[in-house]
Chains A and B, each alone.
Chain A
């Protein structure tokens, strides 16, 4: 039965994953790990949205950082007006505003192809962070807006770490997002997304409305970015334009390419690399004695080198690389089992 029903199979998988993550965040991770895990979850949500758009629907976006910014500012501006609005409402509101923004960008984007679409979304990533400086009274200018982090409910006890509570929220949001997206990409809508990516003419001949499909993919993708942006605001305890530079948009694209274009698990792997690579390289440089001008820039250089090596070694991303390694290993295992079985064969006649 589970083999047939995608929904039930995914439901069981995500339930198991949720229990595992609950145990890890509660009993294994220290607060700093939980803080980093929240970051991985936030980037993964946004990267998963980008995977649906770029990997599955074939539309390149260099502006996903800007869409996250819309979600983050929705949350921060609303909380600046009414500090006691509930978190769930903020998440929904951010998904809604960013979804609308995604629809507008998507309608424009549906008329553009390849480098022109990349250029248009790039413009979004460059221009949007300038807006808060021009409407400083609403958005707080370059300094941004500060908000309070989500406080754990009283029944969890006074000593419950706020980082753990944040990790629960971010991971729950990520699991729900991935559950929805995993089902979406295997549905008829997901097939339409891929068909439009692979051959627009064939898609049109099969009766698919290409433009509408592209706009829908943009809305889904933007909604994910909005959710990630809202969580990002809580994670930072504020929102300022400096958090949403072109760098963020490019990092998200890097994450899905490194992780494996078009695969949702690749989005998770890519986000993990995005968060933990600077942590590891930062520790590395502080343990070696370098002149400050060199040491300050070493993490960036290592990041660049790792990206180049990863692309060369795993052209289909880490997820693709892992999949082919697993496939190779099972093949070797099977053949070794086959050779292991051979000596047994002559025994049979002797009996």
Chain B
């Protein structure tokens, strides 16, 4: 049985590459050599990449749009000739934000679907369950959709790269804002955890900025578990913060749990200042959860007005920004059913970075060449507000954020300049002075 399968596969590969050779010859292509099946998941005409995403379950509200949005960008690239003549096939599987499902779905992608690389696998607790496996199999693990510091571990995980600013970088800048604006208020925490790197890394960053500044900090964070049972316990956790007299709640939470926390506080007639991590603060996502009745009954979207957060991508509502108009245009053609929100912008921006990496990996990319390409990239022309940090000793993505707040109409407005820092304790926070980047003509990365 087995020899037959491999024989037929060999025949397919041979036939496809044969056809491709004929095609390139007929077209008189300018490329000096022909496309070959240079790596697992790479044929002369396709590149297959995979991902695990919370398409259903507690993290699905909002996050389930990320992979379809990325796929819309790939469809756009494919319709315009692909990358070096190869079309990108993006296979994303549902892991329900459950680490056990992530483990099994990832093996399906690697062993059965034979992906070239993992791309934008979502979630800190989920992806931690497979990061060792992917690295032991030498599968490039590009642009994990999570801000855990753990992805930047070049010796332990040489094939893994982060993308968004890590939670410690983000936490430091959020913490500095609190010191500058709420120094007289009592600060408390609402975190995913305990023992979850998402909550822990964020707490570490915020505390780095708060420590030694004489602020009144509630030493016991309120934790939530991202499960259906955990959702029921959020009300009690928020009531606990209220009882402690907390006036500023720093929240490292996924959107559904941010919405539950803010709704619970309002229900208790408790009105603290919420300072929420970027991943849990997208206003269109939060208002869809609140007004859609996902929390049992329909709630007003205005509940999140005044929430403070940060961004590392252009504002959704900034129609004059060329990245925003590019991605909005692609969404309208290739994924018209998706809303225009932060998740969709995130998915497309990350897909743009992947196309940059695939182009840089050469005409016939290998798993090693794409890792090397990202490490030696020094790209400063991505969709982010800051450049990427990628180098052979640094696998972090963007290095900074800009503070934002939700206004009364549910849109974000910026508070101050873009700031950058690193994830070391005490590492200085500096104002970013570089110019904002613009996408290339046509919206597809050039070489």
Point out residues on A near B: beta carbons under 8 Å. Answer: 27-32, 35, 39, 126, 129-130, 133, 136-137, 140-144, 146, 148-149, 163, 236-238, 240-243, 282, 286, 291-292, 296-297
Q: Is B55 an interface residue (CB 8 A)?
A: yes
In the bound complex, residues from chain B placing their C-beta under 8 Å from that of A236 are: 100, 103-104, 129
Let me know if B55 and A30 touch, CB within 8 A: no
What would 30 A/B residue contacts be, using CB atoms closer than 8 Å?
A27-B2, A29-B2, A30-B111, A31-B111, A32-B108, A32-B111, A35-B111, A39-B104, A133-B194, A133-B223, A133-B230, A137-B195, A141-B196, A142-B193, A142-B227, A143-B197, A149-B133, A236-B100, A237-B130, A238-B99, A240-B125, A240-B129, A241-B227, A242-B96, A242-B100, A286-B91, A292-B55, A292-B337, A296-B56, A296-B94
Q: Is B220 an interface residue (CB 8 A)?
A: no
How many contacting A-B pairs (Cβ < 8 A)? Answer: 100
In the bound complex, residues from chain A placing their C-beta under 8 Å from that of B128 are: 143, 146
Q: Is B202 an interface residue (CB 8 A)?
A: no
In the bound complex, residues from chain B placing their C-beta under 8 Å from that of A140 are: 195
Q: Is B52 an interface residue (CB 8 A)?
A: no
- Taken together as a complex, chains A and B put the C-alpha atoms of A237 and B129 apart, in Å, by 8
The residue in B97, B103, B192 that gathers the most chain A C-beta atoms within 10 A of its C-beta is: B103
Q: How does the 8 Å CB contact mask read for B219-258 relative to A, with 1 for contact and 0 for none?
A: 0000101110110000000000000000000000000000
Q: Is B380 an interface residue (CB 8 A)?
A: no
- Taken together as a complex, chains A and B put the C-alpha atoms of A297 and B108 apart, in Å, by 19
In the bound complex, residues from chain A placing their C-beta under 8 Å from that of B309 are: none
- Taken together as a complex, chains A and B put the C-alpha atoms of A310 and B280 apart, in Å, by 43
In the bound complex, residues from chain A placing their C-beta under 8 Å from that of B185 are: none
* Complex partner residue of A144 from B94, B124, B125, CB under 8 angstroms: B125
Let me know if B195 and A143 touch, CB within 8 A: yes
B: number of interface residues (CB 8 Å):
42
Q: How does the 8 Å CB contact mask read for B68-97 relative to A, with 1 for contact and 0 for none?
A: 100000000000000000000001011011
In the bound complex, residues from chain A placing their C-beta under 8 Å from that of B68 are: 292
Let me know if B99 and A242 touch, CB within 8 A: yes
- For residue A160, give the distance in angstroms from its CB to the closest CB of chain B: 14
In the bound complex, residues from chain B placing their C-beta under 8 Å from that of A28 are: 1-2
In the bound complex, residues from chain B placing their C-beta under 8 Å from that of A296 are: 55-56, 64, 94
Q: How does the 8 Å CB contact mask read for B329-362 relative to A, with 1 for contact and 0 for none?
A: 0000000010000000000000000000000000
- Taken together as a complex, chains A and B put the C-alpha atoms of A297 and B225 apart, in Å, by 23
Let me know if B195 and A136 touch, CB within 8 A: yes
* Complex partner residue of B64 from A129, A142, A292, CB under 8 angstroms: A292
- Taken together as a complex, chains A and B put the C-alpha atoms of A336 and B107 apart, in Å, by 51
